Amino acid sequence: MGDNNIKEQIAIISILFKSDDLLDDFFYSLSLQIDVDFTLFLLNNDENDKTKSLVQELERKYNFVNPVRYIESDHNTGFARGNNLVIKEVLKEDFEYILLANNDVFFNQRNLLSSLKQRCENNKVITPKILYHGTDKIWFSGGHINKYKGLNIHEDEFKSDSLVNQSERLVDFAPACFLMVKKEVFTTVGTFDEKYFVYWEDVDFCLRLRNLGYNITLAPALYIEHKVSVSTGGRASLFSTYYFLRNRLYFIHKHFNGWSKIISLLYIYLTTIIKIIIFDFPRKKVLIKAIVDFKKM
> What is the per-residue DSSP string for 94-145?
T--EEEEE-SSEE---TTHHHHHHHHHHHHSEEEEEEEETTSSBEEES-EEE
Per-domain boundaries in the chain: 6-128+172-212, 238-296
Give the residue from 52, 159, 155, 43 showing the smallest Cα distance to 90: 43
Q: Per-residue DSSP letters for 65-89?
A: SSPPEEEE-SS--HHHHHHHHHHHH
- Rounded distance, CA 297 to CA 287, Å? 16
Question: What local confidence, expressed as pLDDT, does residue 229 receive?
Answer: 64
Cα separation, 98 vs 101, in Å, equals 9
What's the confidence (pLDDT) of residue 3? 45
Q: Which segments within the chain are labelled E, that is strand?
A: 10-16, 38-44, 69-72, 97-101, 105-106, 125-132, 138-140, 143-146, 151-154, 169-171, 178-182, 216-226
Rg of the Cα trace of the chain?
A: 19
pLDDT the model gives residue 2: 43
Q: In the CATH scheme, what architecture does the domain 6-128+172-212 have?
A: Alpha-Beta Complex (3.90)
Short-list 77, 287, 21, CA closest to 201: 77
Q: What is the rounded CA–CA span in Å between residue 17 and residue 45? A: 5
Give pLDDT tens digits for 75-111: 899 999 999 999 999 999 989 999 999 999 999 999 9
From 122, 105, 144, select the one nearest 222 (Cα to Cα): 105
pLDDT at 231: 55
Which residues are CB-neighbours of 152 under 8 A, at least 6 positions away?
143, 144, 145, 146, 173, 200, 203
CA 20 distance to own-chain centroid? 18
**pLDDT for the residue numbered 228:** 84
Which residues have CB under 8 Å from 280's CB, separation 6+? none
Question: In the prediction, which pLDDT does 261 show?
Answer: 97
Residue 292: Cβ within 10 Å count: 10
Low-confidence ranges of the chain (pLDDT < 50): 1-6
Angle at which helix 238-255 crosses helix 281-296, to 10 degrees, equals 30
